Amino acid sequence: MTMDIFALFAPPNLIDSFLLKFFAPETMNYVVWPFIQIGAVATVLAGWAAYASYLERKISAFMQARLGPMRVGPWGLLQPIADAIKLMTKEDLTPDDADPFIFKYAPYISVVAAFIVFAVIPFAPDWGVITDINIGLLFVLSVSSVGVLALILAGWSSNSKYALLGGLRSSAQMVSYEVSMGLSLVGALMFARTLSLSGIVQAQGLDSIWYFFYQPLGFVIFFISGIAENNRAPFDLPEAESELVAGFHTEYSGMRWSLFFMAEYAAMIVVSAVAVTLYLGGWYFPGTWRLMASYPVLYVFVSLFIFVSKTAILLYLYFWFRWTFPRYRYDQLMDLGWKWMIPASLVNIVWTALAIFVVQALNGWGGLRTIQSLTHGVNLTWAGKIIMVAFGFGGLFVTAAVLSMLNWRSRDFNLKKHRRQVRLVNSPKGQTAVASITKAVTSDG
Amino acid sequence: MHQVEVATTQETLLDNPEMILNMGPQHPSTHGVLRIILRLDGETVIDLDCDIGYLHRGMEKIAEHRLYPMIAPYWDRLDYIAAVSNGLVWVETVEQMLGLEVPPRAHYIRTILTELNRIASHLLWLATHGLDIGSFTVLLWALREREEILKIFEQQFGARLTCHAWRIGGMPSDTYADFEKDVQRFVDNFPARLAEYETLLSENRIWLGRTVGIGVISAADAIAIGLSGPALRGSGVAWDIRKSRPYAAYADMDFDVPVGENGDTYDRYLVRLEEMRQSRRIVQQALTNLPDGPVNAKLPKIIKPPVGDYYHSIEGPKGEIGCYLVSDGTSRPHRVRVRPPCLINLQALRQMCIGHLVADVVAIIGTLDIVLGEIDR
């Protein structure tokens, strides 16, 4: 028996042989393995979400000339565990006037919507893909947007004005950023020609390029919309601490509050993971394919490590933005969404379609060969790749031009031009000056 | 103050587009115990009313029952962010009533320390203003600099916040041994640090969007309301008591008064940043020319100012902080009246906020730089 326990740390085929002692093969394939995968992913991600909060506190501390958590464990490493114990043992208050049923169950919607997305995220090849459904990306978009429901319900059922305003803000914000987020993905899909997430990763592997180079604009729009969709700073209006106290979760305490908190971090990981899958080549990294044939198990673990590292880098960007930028105002946020993000993602679609058309048209023109195959996603030759990457980065300028044309009238179009100097008034040393109104302004002006 | 009418009939939220939102006194960004009653349409402010007095300690009344030197510590606790400046108003008023000649060294040290206090106060304003608009990092960076000033205060006065800095006629003691070295080190380091803070905010698009054109008040309105300090100068009025009625050693100092143009939050932000630089200039000049000599004037055993009314004011970090004092010739004042800059600056809140969003209310409270200890007294 003790030897069998070690099987847990062994590659899956050993676990297979261990499990086959207890279950029929069918039961094992369709019931036991999925449960093991779900359990592993849920546990690891809950831990990751908890430690993301630790990392955020540490990183923000280093940015702010302080140390962050240091007391619990070495370098405060046990802080998330201490926090979890504290939150679980805290009193769970429900306000008198709240709608108790909705109030109590809203956090569950939030956390379930955030965690369920991981079902389709391809963490690594082979057994790293838990479920490979052919509409994976649609699943991600639709399920993650259920999360907004939790925020609205929480804000509404709390029967608090701050929570209500937070819920209102979050609904408007998430709905408007959902659009640009969905549209920005279309560009990448034009190359991958599949909605299956592992299919998209494999398409990037076959083409041996990350779609970030074809779709730099799509990546930027997706990531910004993702931050906005997750209500993270500088778009953290639904919980804007300085304005709305704590926004939609003002009335929550204890474990229910921490479910929202965990959902927020899990949603961040989701957006980062989807961005990695779509734009940063998923588990691929130059050179790792050499391991595939000779060390298949090691290859999966290395791929997993690569995927997690890429996701962690994007998570770091989240933290970096949060602790650097001030917060947008509500109307500015809407402006950014509807007047910048959505037009930009539309331009991106048109531009990408044009790029693919041009590359296809150039194929065979003057002996130039741009396309290798179109069966599993767009598969380009070196010449085709160079043209496509040039189109991708050129698209940034095109989009900037289009957006400038659209927005040059708006009030905060070119705020950077605003003067950054004040006038200095001096009087000779020791001589008294009298007050002078230097600019005549009428009181109704 | 203007009263917000609260609807008496109990309508549900959906029937009425207007909503009364009670902001404070426990709200995280009303800078203390200010209560603002907002009437909102969606998130737009239609009307607002301030409810103050949660921190009322009856300082003006208490002062009628204390000897003149005993009143000074109460003054330190008016605007507890700028205790050193506050204390100066009281001692200078009494000195002027008595006609005391304060030694020049005391004047210079007063100048240095009140300017350091101005920098500390402005840094705290920058910290909280940044925090209100969502920039958390500015808070800790600015507090780090303020800490250096508080260390100097702690060594000099024995307290970090509620420093009882001055005595009538001069100072309780001369400066400590390393005073000049410490101040010089701060003066040397400060400009680079301030430039660092500016990189976070001054050119940040979001910051510009949140401050440009927010909380505009015209020069005429500012004067009509009686604004003073950076809030007034941000509207384009070059009024600085350090220039117009120099006290302490300001007559010997060469410094500029920064003046804004549009009277919006961004202008006030720029004005305060520039004031910090000018304060540093003043500290440097005073430190270089610091005269030797005694730091105390000769005082009578019991302070009994002659009968009469007196008014004296100085340029505090928040604005003109003044003291109106009626003496009946006894050892206790007949009446003391504080001219609190924050209270008068707060009057502009309603005019600045109407038509803006809830998020701007927070930014405008931040830009007015209020301290409730002084508003409520």
Q: Give the tens place of pLDDT for each residue, B224-275.
A: 888 888 888 888 888 888 887 888 888 888 888 888 888 888 888 888 988 8
Give, rounded to a whole angstrom, the gap between the first and last alpha carbons of chain B. 18
Residue B323's Cβ-count burial label (10 Å; 0-12, 13-18, 19+) is buried
Work out whether the CA dihedral B325, B326, B329, B331 comes out positive or negative: negative
**Within 10 A of A423 (CB to CB), how many other CB atoms are there?**
18
Closest chain A residue to B364, measured at CA: A243
With a cut of 70, say whether residue A428 has pLDDT above it: no
A139: domain range?
97-414
Residue for token digits 């680079």?
Answer: B192
Closest chain A residue to B140, measured at CA: A64
Confidence of residue B351 (pLDDT cuts 50, 70, 90): confident
Check: CB of residue B336 under 8 Å from CB of residue B184.
no
Among B203, B209, B256, the residue with its CB nearest the CB of A329 is B209
- Residue B322 CA to residue A309 CA, distance in Å, equals 61
The answer to whether residues A18 and A162 belong to one domain is: no
The answer to whether residues A70 and A108 belong to one domain is: no
Q: If you average pLDDT over every residue of chain B, what do you get?
A: 84
Which residues of A, range 311-330, sit inside 8 Å of B by Cβ?
323-330
Pairing relationship of beta strands B18-23 and B257-259 according to DSSP bridges? unpaired
Per residue in A299-316, pLDDT (tens digit) is: 888 888 888 899 999 999
Q: Looking at the domain assignment, is residue A430 inside a domain?
A: no
Check: CB of residue A192 under 8 Å from CB of residue A186.
no
Share of chain B above pLDDT 70, in %: 96
Looking at A377-433, list the stretches that DSSP marks H as alpha helix, in order from N- to C-terminal side. 382-407
Per residue in B287-315, pLDDT (tens digit) is: 888 888 888 888 878 888 888 888 888 88
Of residues B218, B229, B220, B258, the one with CA closest to residue B371:
B229
Q: Provide the whole-model pTM.
A: 0.83
The answer to whether residues A65 and A115 belong to one domain is: no
- Residue B307 CA to residue B326 CA, distance in Å, equals 8
- Residue B374 CA to residue A9 CA, distance in Å, equals 66
For position B315, what pLDDT does the model report?
Answer: 87
Indicate the length of chain A as a whole number. Answer: 445
- Residue A375 CA to residue B314 CA, distance in Å, equals 80
The answer to whether residues A304 and A192 belong to one domain is: yes
Residue B354's Cβ-count burial label (10 Å; 0-12, 13-18, 19+) is middle
Query: How many folded domains does chain A comprise?
Result: 2
For position A441, what pLDDT does the model report?
Answer: 43
Domain locations in chain B?
21-376
Confidence of residue B11 (pLDDT cuts 50, 70, 90): low
The answer to whether residues A166 and A76 belong to one domain is: no
For position B12, what pLDDT does the model report?
Answer: 56
Query: What is the DSSP secondary-structure string of B54-117?
Result: TT---HHHHHTTS-HHHHHHHHHTTSGGGHHHHHHHHHHHHHHHHT----HHHHHHHHHHHHHH
Q: Looking at the domain assignment, is residue A243 inside a domain?
A: yes
Of residues A391, A400, A404, the one with CA closest to residue A351:
A391
Of residues B93, B112, B83, B56, the one with CA closest to residue B290:
B112
Residue A42's Cβ-count burial label (10 Å; 0-12, 13-18, 19+) is middle
Q: If you average pLDDT over every residue of chain A, what do you get?
A: 80
* Structure-model confidence comparison of residues A400 and A9, the more confident one: A400
Give the pLDDT mean for A280-285.
82
Q: Looking at the domain assignment, is residue A42 inside a domain?
A: yes
For position A6, what pLDDT does the model report?
Answer: 47
* Out of A70-79, A422-431, B1-10, B237-246, least confident range: B1-10
Confidence of residue A445 (pLDDT cuts 50, 70, 90): very low
Is it true that the peptide bond before B17 is cis, omega within 30 degrees of 0? no
- Residue B232 CA to residue B209 CA, distance in Å, equals 22
* Structure-model confidence comparison of residues A435 and A176, the more confident one: A176
Provide, for chain A, the percentages of residues in helix, strand and coil under a 3-state DSSP scheme, each rounded to the nearest 5.
Answer: 70, 0, 30
The answer to whether residues A384 and A310 belong to one domain is: yes
- Amino acid in the structure at residue A96: D
**Within 10 A of B244 (CB to CB), how many other CB atoms are there?**
15
| Residue A60 at interface with chain B, using a CB cutoff of 8 Å | yes
The answer to whether residues A189 and A256 belong to one domain is: yes
For position B5, what pLDDT does the model report?
Answer: 57
Q: What ipTM was assigned to the predicted interfaces of this complex?
A: 0.78
Confidence of residue A288 (pLDDT cuts 50, 70, 90): confident
Cβ contact, residue pair B140, A64, below 8 Å:
yes
Among B132, B137, B263, the residue with its CB nearest the CB of A63 is B137
DSSP state of B21: E
Residue A366: CB partners within 8 Å, gap ≥ 6?
none
Check: CB of residue B92 under 8 Å from CB of residue B328.
no
Q: Which three-class secondary structure string do you get for A99-118?
A: CHHHHHHHHHHHHHHHHHHH
Among B13, B19, B256, the residue with its CB nearest the CB of A426 is B256
Per residue in A376-386, pLDDT (tens digit) is: 777 777 777 88
Q: Token pair of A425, please?
A: 């008034």
Q: Looking at the domain assignment, is residue A420 inside a domain?
A: no
Q: Pick from A67, A157, A160, A242 the residue to mutate for testing the B interface (most B CBs within 10 Å).
A: A242
* Out of A53-57, A152-156, B244-248, least confident range: B244-248
Identify all chain B residues contacting A421, using CB atoms and an 8 Å cutoff. 270
With a cut of 50, say whether residue A432 has pLDDT above it: no
| Residue B369 at interface with chain A, using a CB cutoff of 8 Å | no
Residue for token digits 């592992």?
Answer: A198
Q: Token pair of B80, please?
A: 């507890």
For position A206, what pLDDT does the model report?
Answer: 79
Per residue in B160-216, pLDDT (tens digit) is: 888 888 888 888 888 888 888 888 888 888 888 888 888 888 878 888 888 888 888
Does domain B21-376 match CATH 1.10.645.10? yes
**Boundary residue ending a domain (A38, A59, A89):** A89
Interface contacts A/B by beta carbons within 8 Å: 181
Q: Looking at the domain assignment, is residue A352 inside a domain?
A: yes
Q: At what angle do helices B179-201 and B265-288 cross, to 10 degrees?
A: 160
Q: How far is B42 from chain A (nearest CA, A)?
A: 8
The answer to whether residues A179 and A67 belong to one domain is: no
| Residue B6 at interface with chain A, using a CB cutoff of 8 Å | no
**Boundary residue ending a domain (A48, A73, A89):** A89
Residue A417: CB partners within 8 Å, gap ≥ 6?
none
Cβ contact, residue pair A324, B200, below 8 Å:
yes
Q: Token pair of B211, please?
A: 């401050």
**Boundary residue ending a domain (A72, A89, A106):** A89
Q: Pick from B208, B228, B289, B352 the residue to mutate for testing the A interface (most A CBs within 10 Å).
A: B208
B47 phi and psi, to 5 degrees? -155, 155
Give the pLDDT mean for A5-28.
67
For residue B337, the cross-strand partners are B324
The answer to whether residues A72 and A134 belong to one domain is: no
Q: At what angle do helices A342-362 and A161-192 cross, to 10 degrees?
A: 0
The answer to whether residues A121 and A153 belong to one domain is: yes
For residue A395, the cross-strand partners are none
Cβ contact, residue pair B133, A242, below 8 Å:
yes
* Structure-model confidence comparison of residues A331 and B24, the more confident one: A331
**Within 10 A of B81 (CB to CB), how many other CB atoms are there?**
26
Per residue in A201-258, pLDDT (tens digit) is: 888 887 778 888 888 888 999 999 888 888 887 887 766 666 677 777 777 888 888 8
| Residue B246 at interface with chain A, using a CB cutoff of 8 Å | yes
